[in-house]
């Protein structure tokens, strides 16, 4: 039969053949619609893997002469819409009260899944529980970029599918042990903080003078993810984008917390911008040298700028006044 994943309710997916139960395949799909199409992978061919937990082999109904054998598993792109609660060996989905069938039983090559092999994995007959990795980099890239519909993959035994033996058992998304559930592993390029040029534009000063020509300004931008903090985790100030500027506040433990300027300039140079002041009375043309062009950016770390304060006895009036003044400053 067909094992639909995410769903099905079963803690395991099965691939192979177990005698009276016949042969079976597994369907796996992930929602990649929320991922950024500009995601930069470390390499174009070996950066995204579907990880399945192989929990060993198992037999379905008793069989007289089950064969344990090496299995050659292949992942194929699914090209027919299916539903996790409806997919079986015969049906792919439902429409109202109608059941929609695959082009043929157990899914048809070319019609329901691509004949091209996306990835191959060998599991020997003596193999114990382990992680199994299917390289889906090209397919994942097509899904994220919208050049191919994301309907997941079907995993099947390409050599011994119809030979009675044992099922290979893999953890499903309904497995109570979260470490056994399927997931995508992606290797992205290292986060960087770089100057990025804006569209050239005219510059106007406070007097009303305008640059003679378009000027290219730039800004620091965090790429491939936000700047990390000292532990390699996402900084607090990055949770809602790449924040520029710094803030400080007393937290619930009475520690002074300072959020980082996550991606800021570290080296700049003043530009020479000829200014046209013909439309301004009493102002001559001049060269503006007050605008900076960013040459280099860097990630600044988040840090705690004070230690936890020890509990004191009743504070003095002077201390209370200072504390009140500090809070007023922080609110501004």
Tens-digit pLDDT profile for residues 252-305:
555 544 444 567 788 999 999 999 999 999 999 999 999 999 999 887 654 444
Q: Residue 250: is its pLDDT beyond 60?
A: no
**Whether the Cβ atoms of residue 43 and residue 187 lie closer than 8 Å to each other:** yes
- Residue 97 phi/psi, 5-degree rounding, is -95, 0
pLDDT recorded at residue 284: 95
Cα separation of 171 and 189, whole Å? 29
pTM assigned to the model = 0.60
Phi-psi region of 186 (alpha: psi -120 to 50; beta: other; left: phi over 0): beta
| pLDDT-based confidence at residue 69 (cuts at 50, 70, 90) | confident
Average pLDDT over residues 109-116: 94
| pLDDT-based confidence at residue 323 (cuts at 50, 70, 90) | low
Q: Residue 192: is its pLDDT beyond 50?
A: yes
- Mean of pLDDT over the chain: 78
For residue range 12-64, list pLDDT tens digits in order: 998 887 666 678 899 999 888 777 666 778 888 888 999 999 998 877 655 55
CA angle 144, 150, 156 (to 5 degrees): 125
Cα separation of 330 and 308, whole Å? 18
pLDDT recorded at residue 153: 94
Work out the number of other CB atoms within 10 angstroms of the CB of residue 49.
20
**Low-confidence winner among 164-173, 177-186, 219-228 (lowest mean pLDDT):** 219-228
| pLDDT-based confidence at residue 322 (cuts at 50, 70, 90) | low
Cα separation of 242 and 193, whole Å? 10
Residue labelled with tokens 């005219």: 202
- The three-state secondary structure class of 266 is strand
Average pLDDT over residues 107-133: 91
């Amino acid at each position: 039969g067909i094992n639909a994943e995410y769903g099905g309710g079963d803690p395991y997916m099965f691939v192979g053949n177990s005698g009276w139960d016949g042969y079976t395949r597994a369907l796996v799909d992930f929602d990649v619609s929320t991922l950024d199409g500009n995601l930069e992978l470390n390499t174009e061919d070996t950066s995204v893997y579907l990880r399945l937990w192989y929990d060993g082999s198992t037999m379905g109904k008793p069989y007289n002469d089950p064969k344990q054998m090496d299995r050659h598993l292949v992942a194929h792109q699914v090209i027919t819409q299916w539903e996790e609660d409806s997919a079986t060996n015969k049906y792919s989905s439902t429409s109202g009260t109608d059941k929609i069938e695959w082009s043929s039983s157990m899914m048809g090559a070319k019609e329901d899944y691509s004949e091209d092999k996306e990835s191959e994995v060998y599991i020997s007959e003596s193999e114990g529980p382990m992680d199994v990795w299917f390289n889906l980099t090209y397919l994942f890239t097509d899904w994220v970029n919208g050049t191919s519909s994301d309907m997941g993959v079907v995993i099947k035994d390409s050599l011994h599918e119809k030979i009675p033996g044992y099922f290979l058992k893999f953890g499903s998304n309904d497995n109570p042990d979260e470490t056994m559930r399927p997931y995508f592993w992606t290797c992205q390029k290292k986060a960087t903080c770089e100057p990025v040029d804006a569209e050239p534009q005219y510059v106007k000063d406070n007097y009303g003078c305008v640059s003679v020509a378009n000027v290219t300004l730039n800004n620091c931008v965090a790429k491939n993810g936000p700047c990390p903090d000292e532990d390699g985790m996402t900084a607090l100030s990055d949770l809602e984008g790449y924040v520029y500027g710094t803030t400080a506040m007393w937290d619930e433990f009475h520690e002074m917390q300072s959020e980082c300027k996550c991606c800021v300039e570290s080296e700049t140079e003043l530009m020479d911008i000829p200014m046209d002041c013909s439309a301004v009375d009493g102002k001559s043309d001049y060269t503006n040298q007050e605008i900076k062009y960013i040459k280099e950016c860097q990630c600044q770390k988040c840090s705690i700028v004070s230690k936890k304060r020890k509990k004191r006895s009743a504070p003095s009036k002077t201390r209370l006044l200072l504390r009140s003044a500090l809070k007023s400053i922080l609110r501004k």
